[in-house]
Amino acid sequence: MNSSNRASFRQTIFLGLLATVLSVFFVFLGGPVLRVLFSTCGAIKYSLLGLAFSIPFFAVGMAPLGFFSLGLWTAIGFFSGAEARGKTGFWWASLAVGLGVVVSVLGPLAHFQLTGIEIVNVLGDSVHEVTRRWAQQTSSQMTAEEVKELSNLSVKLLPGFVAILMMGSLGVAVIFAEKFAQLTGIRYERVAGQMKISGFRVPDLVIWILLAGLLLSFVKLGSPEAKVLGINLTILCLGAYFFQGLAVLEAGFEAFNVYPIVRLLLYVFVVAQLFFLLSILGLIDFWLDFRKKWQVYKRLSHSSEE
């Protein structure tokens, strides 16, 4: 890393604090800050900062939040480090997300196991209360037994939902890190072969994993664990295809020369609300390859201008 690109001490502390606050309270918005922070201070300092800014959560009795923060730092730091060594693409991003999920999910389980607290029961009670209130507010006709069953299922699906949060943070980091650096005036060093969201493509193998997940989710096999595994796999695959849909959208923005401010508004006010629609778009792209069509349009547009 070019030494001239390193941040000052004040910038480093500011970025670390901002990344932690945004990651904990707004989740996805911390991603670009973490990516810029890794670029400006290097892997070792980045890792130490991740520990330093996560420890206060443990000190005030908020260990799960501390592990979640540490998981986000881990996922984005690992991917950025791999990318700096020329290792990028879907599987490296998946490995980064997986490491983040391990820290965020297994960390609290191990912590509370050591302290003698049955975290699964505590978490189950909390989710049950949230589910019960939701059922009351929506005037749902769910029985107490159905509410309890939904609560238990929600606890078992936490790994999948945490993975979606990690995916979202990493995706937003890839899209907006350079824009964040330009906005704040902080130097940001691009690396050779740096991943662009418009080039993201899910491997063909994932479609079969998705189909297997759907099969386990809806076909009664007499095994609750199989259903839970199937739903988690389905959530993860839909998350991957969400980013393929996002890649199609970004490629369309580039082909049609959409202004940056319009892109930002669409991302903030539209894309965040259309998870399933973009997942379906990503699935359809598996067969129709929209980006090839965008490229044809772009070439025709340039040739007509000339």
Residue 35 maps to a domain: yes
Domain-embedded: residue 301: no
Per-residue pLDDT at 77: 93
In tens, the pLDDT along 74-98 reads 999 999 998 888 888 888 888 999 9
Distance CA 129, CA 136 (A): 11
pLDDT digits (tens, 9 = 90+) for 227-249: 888 888 898 898 888 888 888 88
pLDDT at 193 over 70: no
Indicate whether 118 belongs to any domain.
yes
pLDDT at 2 over 50: no
Q: Work out the average pLDDT over 164-181.
A: 85
Q: Answer with the residue of higher pLDDT: 204 or 145.
A: 204
The answer to whether residues 167 and 183 touch, using CB atoms and an 8 Å cutoff, is: no
Mean of the per-residue pLDDT values for the chain?
A: 78
Please say if the pLDDT value at position 43 is more than 80.
Answer: yes
Report how far apart, in Å, the C-alpha atoms of 145 and of each of 131, 137, 176, 224 are. 12, 18, 44, 16
211 DSSP assignment = H
| Structural domain span for residue 46 | 1-195
Q: Where are the alpha helices (DSSP H) in 85-157?
A: 90-101, 107-115, 119-137, 144-156
pTM here?
0.77
79: domain CATH number is: 1.10.1760
The answer as to whether 114 is a domain residue is yes
Residue 201 lies in a domain: no
How many domains are contained in the chain? 1
The whole-number pLDDT of residue 3 equals 43
